[in-house]
Amino acid sequence: MSIQVNDDNFDAEVVNSKTPVIVDFWAEWCGPCKAMSPLVDELAAEMGDKVKIVKVNIDENPNAPTKYGVRGIPTFMAFKDGEVKSTKVGGMPKDALKEWAESVA
């Protein structure tokens, strides 16, 4: 299962993580975000300890999306060693999401 992250714990959970992190920036009103949500949760279960997968609701937590230049959602960002290594914007099939996640893990 993915972890809900907010502006208060973003640095602790994502930037300072020793494990690679995939961040799903989403919003309740976003149709593609809702479609991706179960795929993201499945991927979190499949990837296990290889990568941490977290979700950030951009409406409730505006600081992190602003800091990292999120302009469209869903936006997926891969963090490793405290830095953004790769970004994907928009919905995608689970296979494509998994392949991308494995490439940055």
**Does 33 qualify as catalytic in the annotation?**
yes
Q: Please calculate the CA angle 53-57-59 and round it to the nearest 5 degrees.
A: 165
**Does 98 qualify as catalytic in the annotation?**
no
Run of H or E including 45: helix 31-47
Q: 5, 22, 23, 33: which one is catalytic?
A: 33
> Alpha-carbon distance 84 to 37, whole Å?
21
Q: 30, 36, 43, 54: which one is catalytic?
A: 30
Q: Return the active site residues.
A: 30, 33
